[in-house]
Amino acid sequence: MFDEHKQESEISLAPEEKISSENKVVSITEAARRNNVTRQAIYVAIKQNKLKARKDATRWTIHLDDLEEYKKNKYSRTKSVYDGELLFDNERGFYSVNQAAKLLDVPAQKIYYATRVGHLKAERKGAAWIISIDDLNGYKEKYLGKQVTDQQVI
């Protein structure tokens, strides 16, 4: 009889009401998986008040809307600015060390080494190294024997 009553109450609910608040929240582990970061990164974001979360007894839960907001505002090196100007403006031909390494299909350490010994010209802006496409082409021709085109841009 108790089971029949339970089934009746479930049937009487509207479809919108059947979606519990649990379906709109995720755990720390799921939030990390969805953002392609570690669980520790999620904990740090919560502690720094960059990500809203709620602790229910022993478990943290994050509302999906808050997770989407965090994704939008999350720090990204590609969005870095210096003196109000975008640092790694690929459309204007400026790249980070990692972007340059991907373009040339070499390890990032090779790019750092090339800048240190003077084979590749790079400009320092704040804490970042900026490398122009022209300098990349020159380095590739002279030291790697390949040419980079703008179509291969990341």
Torsion 24-30-34-37 (CA) sign:
positive
Q: Return d(Cα 88, Cα 76) in angstroms, integer.
A: 11
For the chain, give percent helix, strand, coil, nearest 5: 55, 15, 30
Question: Band of the pLDDT at 147, cuts 50, 70, 90?
Answer: low
Compute φ and ψ for 146, nearest 5 degrees: -130, 160
Q: What is the mean pLDDT of the chain?
A: 80
Residue range 63-70: mean pLDDT, rounded: 92
Looking at domain 78-152, which CATH architecture does it have?
Orthogonal Bundle (1.10)
| pLDDT of 76 strictly over 90 | no
| pLDDT of 151 strictly over 70 | no
Per-residue pLDDT tens digits for 81-134: 777 777 788 888 999 899 999 999 999 999 999 999 999 999 988 888 899 999
CA-based R_g, the chain, Å: 25
Highest CATH level, class, for 2-73 = mainly alpha
Start-end of CATH 1.10.1660.10 domains in the chain: 78-152
